[in-house]
Structures are given as structure tokens and as C-alpha cells.
Chains A and B, each alone.
Chain A
Amino acid sequence: MSLAAEAFVSQIAAVEPWPENATLYQPLKDDQILLSDHASSLAVQAYLRMCTLPVQVACRANAEYMSPSGKVPFIHVGNQVVSELGPIVQFTKAKGHSLSDGLNEVQKAEMKAYMELVNSMLLTAELYILWCDENTAKQITVPRYSTPYPWPLNHILAYQKQWEVKRKMKAIGWAGKTIDQVYEDVSQCCQALSQRLGTQPYFFNKQPTELDALVFGHLFTILTTELTSDALAERVKNYSNLLSFCQRIEKNYFGDNDSSSIVGRISPFS
């Protein structure tokens, strides 16, 4: 989003209250959505629930192409469309809903730093495993990604996506990494998160912030998604405080009338 557009959006956003019919769009949850997209989508859902902003989840096969940034998930609120967690946080802030207002400037800096840690390590590792690990790509990623498309479009689009991800990995120096090194990075990231969390209920003690939503989205998805091997989930399971952190958020924010829905939303990759 350009700066002018951003300023415009926050101007407009401040005027209108949050509508009842806000919708979050993501790919089909049973047989299309990928681990990384599901993690991002769950993070946004957790964030909106923490803000007590109601949103309906809609699954669309072409969600990726509907999104203004080409990334899922995105929300449709009133007459505006905003994609990805960062811009959505800004958008809700403009409407007067914020989770990080109680933090001081140093804590805000730390929160943003940890969010970048999750994005640069966990998200990149997820993409690496999905698209660059040959086994996972062949058995899970490509078939799921190309479900909605007929032949030969299914091959073309999946190949194009894989090529894009591989180019990105090459640009950031991940192309030379082995799968074990990637798992090692995930461990390192989880260790850092675990140490930062310590014995607190949330990262900044009593109140959850967008960082908690983001970490929950990724860790919960990794823990509940079946891949070709469970090496990735095993890395997370080593940290008991992260596990109870995920359970706590699940219970507090997803535990109401639709306790089955979060399990339903988790797509068993098999």
C-alpha cells in the first residue's frame, strides 16, 4: 500500500465503526490452504478476537487472487479491503482498537523486533519446508495448492509459485541450507520465544498483544498440521511454556461456542 493510500485509509477508517458483517477471506480450509497461509490466517483471527472485533471466515478457492497484496488472509470491512497482519493492525488502530497502547516505547520496539523474528525465521522456514523440500512439495504442497485448477493450469500455477519461493530463498541466502539447518533455525527461534515468554501468561505479561496473536497463529498451526514428517512439530514441542501458551490462547479466545471450529479449521494434511 502506498503512503498516500495508507493515510487515506486511516482517515476513512476512523470515521466508520466496525461493521457486523466484516469478513476474512482465506483459501479452502479442507483441501487447499497451506501451512504458511493457515498460520497467517489464524494469527489475524486471533488478533481480531483479542480485540473483540467480530469477523466471519469465508473460504474462497481464489482468495490469493482476490487479495490486494497477493497474500492471504485479507479482511473486507465496510467498503475496504486490507491484507496481512501488519496493515490489519494499523487499520484496527485507526478505528480505535489497539492491543499495544499500554506498552511503553521500549516494549513496543521489543514487540516489533519479535514479530520480525517470527516472520523472518518461522514463516521463511515454513515456506522452505513447503516448497523447497522435494518430498513435502511433491506429496503435499503442489497437490493442495493446485486443487481448484484444471489441467494444465494446475501444473503451471504450482510451478510458478514454487519458482517464486525458490528465487526468494536464493535472494535471502536460504537456498544453500539443508532441511536440518532449517529445523535448527526453527529451534533457535522457538528457544528465543520461549525464553522471552518465561513464566508469563503473555509476552507482555497480563494483556495479549499482536505479537501473541502472531506467535499463536504460527505455533498452533505447526503443532496441529500433519506434514510428511513431524520433525517441525517436534521442535516446537520441546518448549513446554510455548505449548501451554498456545493452549491458553485457544481456550481464552477460541474456546467459546465454536470450540470445534478451530479444530475444523485446522486442515489435516494427509
Chain B
Amino acid sequence: MRALKNMAAPMELRCWGAGWGLPSVHTETLIVLAYAKFSGADLKIHVVDCTWKTFTGTIPALVLEETVVTGHVEILNHLRKQKYNADYDLSAKQGADTLAFIALLEEKLYPALLHTFWVDAENYSNVTRPWFASRIPFPLNFYLPGRKSSEAVNRILLTQGRPPLYSISEVEAKIYNDAKECLNLLSYRLGSSEYFFGNTPTSLDAFIFGFLGPLHKVHLPSGQLQQHLKQLSNLCHFCDNIISTFFMPNASGFGSFGQETVDANLQKLTQLVNKESNLIEKMDDNLRSSPQHKPRKSNNMRSSQVLNGGDESSVSA
């Protein structure tokens, strides 16, 4: 392990591992991973799952020869200093827009995301806590998810609540309303382009992918925000596109030129499959919600499973 580390690139990223069809399930980690892919930085991924690092370290962390850079903003700044700059082609005005939209995400979308994953009782106990608990060593698995959850409540209340009597039920409606508006704004801003500033991905795309990715991919039992995102097809396509272009095992981003045409074809194919499976899922949902669905249900279910299964196996392969 040690020999390997010395041989490989000196930059090692400590982060949460993959799951739910995403390269990482953790928003901040996703931002760093996406940015590294966009800028061509070669990071050695060190997954902290099931180690004590989950407790002692801030995640994500970039381990360098002498120091450790923690926090996604700091890591991005460090990569920029190392000449890994995904925003090189942006004009000054576009750079300003990047900053503004990141502020919009953090102020309007982040509180509702925290609530969806860490506060909403159904999602937290059925999805978030089991996933994290299974990747944290005993006995911390009983403690850490709960701490993270109470931190989330705290942050939502202190930033959105009204002193001196903070109450979570009072702010819930407001934060979801804000978040849905934020998603609409992002959808308008993206329009029909591939990325937020044309044809090349930038740090803003990395941030938006980090925030939207988990919401798009995870199957949540209680997902009013997820339902809203599903209706904004250009944002869903944006996430799928980044996953298939940069995080498929065969697609290596900007690195290899020989494979490009093969990758492009593969990408088109996966997009097609994704689209169809989405369509089938939607039809399936519609059928399920309508009262006379019984005779057709099994048939549809099977075809959607086959497609989904195929999709997932290509992700994990």
C-alpha cells in the first residue's frame, strides 16, 4: 500500500466511497471528484469507508507530501494553484456568475438537501443512516450519523430559523419552497446547453453536479424535492451526462484521445438507455398510480428492471 502510494501521483484524496450509481455519495466529495475530472487533475482516491478516518478527519481531504488540505473549497483552490484550472476559458463576468450561482446553491438549495437526507425521518432511517452506518467502524456507527443529523438540524435552524424560539416545522415549508425555486432557476439558466457555460464543464458544473447528483440518483422514500427535480429534465440529463462522460470505467475524461470516438458512442448509448429507462419508469409510475394497472404491471416491471439492471452493471463494472 505504502509503496503504491509513493509510486503514484503525490495527491491523494480521502473521501467517502461510491454508491447509488454515483462515484461518491457525499456532496463535497462529488464536487472535488468532478472538478478533478474536469480540470484533468490526477487524484489517487483513498476511500475512507470502514476506517477510523471517518471520525478523526474532515472529509474530503487532499493529502499532499507535507500538508493536508481539507474542505472542498480549499481543495479546489489548491488544484487551481497547481495549474489544474477548469475555469481557464471563462470571462471575468462568467467567473462572477460562477460565484453568484454557488452562493444561490448554498443559500437556497443546501438547507433543503440537508433536510431531505439528514433530517427527514423516513429518508434518514431508511437510506442515509444505514448507508453511512455500514461504512463506519463499530462503535462509531452508532454515534456519527446521529451527530451529523443533529448538526444538519442545527445549521438549518440557525440560518433559516427565527430566534429565539427555533422550530423546525416552521422552516420546513420555507426551505423546500426556496429549494424548488432554486431548481427552477438553475433549469432556466441551463436551458438546452450541455454545461452551464457552453460545451466545456467548469467549476460551477462541478458544484451543481455535487448538489444535484445524490438527489437525482438515490431512491428516497420521501422525496418531494426529488419529484420536483425529476420534472426538470434538462437538469437530470445534465447529471446523467456528467456521470456517463466522466465516471464510467471506459470513459476517462479528457485523458485519452484514441478512445474518444468509442467513448462518444458508448456515451450516446448509455444516454439512450438512461432515457428509455427513465421513460419506462415514468410510465410504470403512471400505471401504478392509475387504478386499472394490474394486468400490465408485471410485464412493465420486468422490462424496467432489465434495463435498470443493465445500466447499473455498467456503472459498477
Contact = CB atoms under 8 A, between A and B. Distances in A.
B100 A116 contact: yes
A268 interface: no
Interface in A1-28: 1-3
A4 to B, nearest CB: 9
B93 A198 contact: yes
Contacts of B103: 113, 116-117, 119-121
Nearest to B169: A2
B130 interface: no
Interface residues of A, number: 32
Contact of B189 (A70, A109, A117): A109
Interface string B74-113: 0000000000000000001101110111011011100000
B219 interface: no
Given A106-B188, A116-B108, A189-B99, A164 B159 contact: no
B189 A192 contact: no
B173 interface: yes
B249 to A, nearest CB: 35
Contact of B185 (A112, A167, A172, A189): A112
Contacts of B159: 168, 171-172
A155 interface: no
A172 B164 CA distance: 18
Nearest to A109: B185
B148 interface: no
Interface in A112-168: 112-114, 116-117, 119-121, 160, 164, 167-168
Contact of B162 (A70, A108, A117): A70
Interface residues of B, number: 30
B155 A172 contact: yes
Contacts of B185: 108-109, 112-113
Interface string A240-266: 000000000000000000000000000
Nearest to B151: A171
Contact residues of A: prevailing secondary structure: helix
A113 B100 contact: yes
Given A113-B101, A119-B107, A191 B155 contact: no
A13 to B, nearest CB: 18
15 contacts: A2-B173, A3-B173, A69-B162, A108-B188, A109-B189, A110-B97, A112-B104, A112-B185, A116-B100, A116-B106, A117-B99, A119-B103, A120-B107, A167-B158, A172-B159
A112 B181 CA distance: 10
B316 interface: no
Given A114-B100, A171-B158, A120 B106 contact: yes
Interface string A62-81: 00000001100000000000
A101 interface: no
A105 B99 contact: no
A116 B108 CA distance: 8
B96 A191 contact: yes
Given A117-B99, A120-B106, 11 more contacts: A106-B188, A108-B185, A116-B104, A116-B106, A116-B108, A119-B103, A172-B159, A192-B95, A193-B96, A196-B100, A198-B93
A110 B100 contact: yes
A195 B93 contact: yes
Contacts of A3: 173, 177
Contact of B97 (A69, A191, A196): A196
Interface of A: 1-3, 69-70, 105-106, 108-110, 112-114, 116-117, 119-121, 160, 164, 167-168, 171-172, 188-189, 191-193, 195-196, 198
Contacts of B163: 70, 164
Contact of A196 (B93, B174, B177, B188): B93
Contacts of B155: 171-172
Nearest to B176: A3
Nearest to A172: B159
Given A69-B162, A172-B159, A192 B177 contact: no
A106 B187 CA distance: 9
Nearest to A71: B162
Contacts of A167: 158
B107 to A, nearest CB: 4
B154 interface: yes
A153 B122 CA distance: 44
A160 to B, nearest CB: 8
B186 interface: yes
A168 B188 CA distance: 32
B57 interface: no
Contacts of B188: 105-106, 108-109
B221 interface: no
A85 to B, nearest CB: 14
